[in-house]
Structure 1
């Protein structure tokens, strides 16, 4: 089934050129089916790249998905045209009275700042608080995961001695979770960050559980026990060349950023990298959408967050509510 996005969004042509099933708004209006309603809070400066990467992962499922793109009102990205933002993006004030089946909060290049020092922190905390009553299940990515697990559960982040960048092996530590259904016991995923959360802090919290970790990269996936909040501390949505582009950018600035680990063939940045994480990345998004959004969200969106919304816990993740 397709992903439903505005006809003129730049991602449309890219996804269609990759043989991804994209449904136009006109065609979707003539189907008698309720699509999943998702909101993507895009905090990345390269918004078009990020929205395309994430939509690519959302599209390869048997579900029709309607996506609203949201930006912060308290900070406007300088790396994308105002026309693009005005045409395709909304703000929290525009949607705060709506309800959504799912929400995705992206990362942002602000890791070395204290959370409270981020320009839009107050607005972000308002949005995250709103998600507890207006969103069935929320997926947080990279810095968005660090911000979400700090806001909701008080888990701090810690600065690393150097940037963690590369593709690392991870182990599934809770194989019974539907989120990792179909995963290999060990799998690869990319990371790109300056800070981390500690597994011990998550394990000590009664409302959180670890799903996948890495000996080298630390925590990769954690979730709340009620399955309302998911935290992915890497970048499963990254394209094959994203880490290369980040490394080339930093090298051109003379930042002394280390070569991404286990990424370039023979660790040689002059060689073209290959994506070795794509299948598991797709499965992660598909499992979240299927087991924790589609199969458990109320058919009537007005029930999301109400007493009738039992939530997407693992016990009912195999039967649509």
Structure 2
């Protein structure tokens, strides 16, 4: 089954060209099936790039998935055409009365700010509180994972001495956990962040479990025991060239930036980077949709209760 998105959305053409099964609204409306309703709160500056990345992995499922793209009203992206935002995005106040099977909150390049200093923090708090009663399972990515752990459980973030930047090996702590089922004992994932959360703080919260971590990159996947809240501290959704683009962007700005670790062959930026996380990304996103959302969300979506 395909992912259901408007045919005018840039991701439709991108994914179609990759031979990924996407379906436009007209065709989907002729099928007698309830699609999963997934909202994506896109906090990334380059929203079209983030859409392509996330929708690519949400398409790897036998389920029909209906996407609602959401942006903040308290801060408008300066890196995405306003015409694109007006056409494809909703504000939170436009969806607050709806219920969703799943919600994805993306990362954002604001981790060196205190949470309360972020321009849209009050709005994000409202959305995260709303998600407890209007969303069955919420997936928080990178900075959003830190924001979610802080908002829901008071877990702090810590500034790193240098940016955690590269592709790192991770281990699965519980091979029977639904979210990590099918992952290799050791798998890879990209990280790009200036802050971290720590195991000792998470372990104080009985409701949380650490499903995956890395000796070098630290805690990676955290989930509540009912999988209603998922926190991933890295960027499984990244494309092959995303870290490379970030590296050259910062170099051109004259910023001090190290070559991403374990990314370019022989640490040579002139070579095509190795994408060692694609399979793991497909597994984690598919597991979230299937086990954390589809297998447990009420068929009558209005029956979703507080988490």
Which TM class, normalised by the smaller chain length? over 0.9
Partner of 2:185: 185
Where 2:285 maps in the other structure, the secondary structure is helix
- Where in structure 1 do 4 or more consecutive aligned residues deviate above 6 Å? none
Aligned-residue offset at 1:226:
2.5
Structure 2 gap ranges (5+) = none
Please list, as runs of the form range in 1=range in 2, the aligned pairs for 1:114-133 lying within 5 A after superposition: 114-133=114-133
Query: CA separation in 1, counterparts of 2:120 and 2:98?
Result: 21
The TM-score, its normalising length taken from structure 2, stands at 0.99
Partner of 1:12: 12
Structure 1 gap ranges (5+) = 312-321
Contact 2:10 / 2:48 at 8 angstroms: preserved in 1? Answer: yes
Aligned-residue offset at 1:256:
1.1
Q: How many residues align?
A: 307
1:217 and 2:206 aligned: no
Partner of 1:96: 96
1:278 and 2:271 aligned: no
Where 1:179 maps in the other structure, the secondary structure is coil
Aligned-residue offset at 1:125:
0.1
Where 1:175 maps in the other structure, the secondary structure is coil
Partner of 1:79: 79
Query: CA separation in 2, counterparts of 1:297 and 1:205?
Result: 24
Where 1:164 maps in the other structure, the secondary structure is strand
Query: CA separation in 2, counterparts of 1:258 and 1:164?
Result: 10
Query: CA separation in 1, counterparts of 2:264 and 2:227?
Result: 36
Where 2:194 maps in the other structure, the secondary structure is strand
Query: CA separation in 2, counterparts of 1:24 and 1:43?
Result: 25
Query: CA separation in 1, counterparts of 2:4 and 2:143?
Result: 27
Aligned-residue offset at 1:168:
0.4
Partner of 1:38: 38
Aligned-residue offset at 1:203:
1.4
Aligned-residue offset at 1:7:
1.5
Partner of 1:55: 55
Please list, as runs of the form range in 1=range in 2, the aligned pairs for 1:152-191 lying within 5 A after superposition: 152-191=152-191
Partner of 2:197: 197
The superposition leaves residues 23-65 of structure 1 with CA deviations (integer Å, 9 ceiling, x where unpaired) of: 0100000000000001000000000000110000000100000
Contact 2:251 / 2:257 at 8 angstroms: preserved in 1? Answer: yes
Query: CA separation in 1, counterparts of 2:246 and 2:129?
Result: 32
Where 1:178 maps in the other structure, the secondary structure is coil
Q: CA RMSD in A?
A: 0.8
Aligned-residue offset at 1:305:
1.9
Where 2:122 maps in the other structure, the secondary structure is helix
Partner of 1:208: 208
Query: CA separation in 2, counterparts of 1:276 and 1:186?
Result: 11
Query: CA separation in 2, counterparts of 1:302 and 1:105?
Result: 21
The TM-score, its normalising length taken from structure 1, stands at 0.95
Partner of 1:318: none
Partner of 1:139: 139
